[in-house]
């Protein structure tokens, strides 16, 4: 349950346990579950034919043996690609079936076209309580809340803009700042507004330890195993 995360420090596995397995694959998510992460984080885009699929970049070049823009592939075309260790690029629905009743999930919406199909996949499985939708784009989150005002949403940001106040006004429950922006002062300000603060992406235990001391609610990491001692 996303609600339970407020009560203790938690570990989010970024693109699954992506330091050890191909990122954003079922294999990396299974590994995050085995390790004992509290949350798995994934990125969603859509195929040319409208399927929500789990991949970070705009192109398939870095993470598969193919090349080209994700949104110019049909689902059939994408599924022929090797996303590492023989893994296929997963559909969002496959990921949700894997995580259901096992682990919370942060679904990061990467493009406008991914909002509605992602909402439908969560809705049909009634996974609202274990899902938080995240995005750098506040309009994506606004659309999530229009679809379901009870949905959990968190604003991701990398520049010191008005992320905290904007997120609060929208009705977000969390902010996800680039970790260098998560100063003690910024964390305290967000927490006074009852927002959870979840910095990303931290693979150094000492940096994570300091963020915990400074008040962060949890951290996003590629190496969830080394962060477990902070829980
Ligand atoms: O959780 C936030 C983080 O995932 C945002 O950055 O580029 O890894 O999607 P990126
Ligand atoms: Ca992400």
Q: Residue 101 is part of a domain; what is its CATH number?
A: 3.20.20.190
Q: Under DSSP, is residue 106 helix (H, G, I), strand (E, B) or coil? A: strand
Ligand that lies nearest to the alpha carbon of residue 220, given by its number in the listed order: 1
Q: pLDDT of 76-113, one tens digit each?
A: 999 999 999 999 999 999 999 999 999 999 999 999 99
Q: Under DSSP, is residue 172 helix (H, G, I), strand (E, B) or coil? A: coil
CB 73 within 8 Å of CB 139? no
Range of the domain at 219: 2-230
Alpha carbons 190 and 127: distance in angstroms, whole number: 27
Report which protein residue has its CA nearest ligand 1's atom 7. 56
140 is catalytic: no
Report which protein residue has its CA nearest ligand 1's atom 1. 200
Dig out the tokens for 230 from the structure: 């902070």
Centre of ligand 1 to C-alpha 150, Å, is 23
User: Best substitution site from 13, 28, 43, 222 to test ligand 1's pocket, by max atoms within 8 Å of Cβ?
Assistant: 43
Residues near 102 by Cβ (< 8 Å), separated by ≥ 6? 33
This prediction's pTM: 0.98
> Structurally, how many domains does the chain consist of?
1
Evaluate if residue 75 carries a pLDDT over 70.
yes
Kindly state the DSSP code that residue 91 receives in the 8-state scheme.
B
Q: pLDDT of 43-67, one tens digit each?
A: 999 999 999 999 999 999 999 999 9
What confidence category does residue 161 fall into, taking pLDDT thresholds of 50, 70 and 90? Answer: low
Give the other-Cβ count within 10 Å of 149's Cβ. 8
CB 197 within 8 Å of CB 10? no
Q: Under DSSP, is residue 74 helix (H, G, I), strand (E, B) or coil? A: coil
State the pLDDT at residue 43: 99
């Amino acid at each position: 349950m996303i609600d339970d995360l407020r009560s203790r420090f938690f570990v989010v596995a970024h693109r699954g346990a992506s330091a050890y397995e191909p990122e954003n694959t079922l294999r990396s998510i299974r590994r995050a579950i085995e390790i004992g992460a509290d949350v798995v984080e994934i990125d969603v885009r859509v195929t040319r034919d409208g399927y929500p699929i789990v991949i970070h970049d705009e192109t398939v070049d870095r993470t598969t043996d193919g090349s080209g823009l994700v949104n110019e592939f049909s689902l059939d075309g994408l599924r022929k690609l090797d996303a590492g260790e023989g893994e296929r690029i997963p559909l969002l629905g496959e990921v949700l079936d894997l995580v259901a009743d096992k682990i919370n999930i942060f679904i990061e919406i990467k493009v406008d076209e991914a909002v509605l199909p992602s909402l439908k996949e969560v809705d049909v499985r009634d996974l609202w309580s274990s899902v938080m939708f995240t995005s750098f784009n506040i309009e994506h989150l606004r659309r999530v809340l229009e679809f379901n005002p009870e949905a959990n949403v968190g604003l991701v940001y990398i520049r010191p803009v008005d992320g905290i106040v904007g997120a609060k006004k929208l009705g977000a429950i969390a902010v996800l700042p680039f970790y260098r922006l998560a100063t003690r002062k910024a964390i305290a300000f967000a927490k006074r507004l009852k927002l959870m603060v979840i910095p990303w992406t931290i693979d150094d235990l000492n940096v994570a330890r300091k963020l915990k001391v400074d008040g962060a609610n949890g951290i996003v990491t590629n190496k969830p195993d080394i962060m477990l001692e902070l829980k």
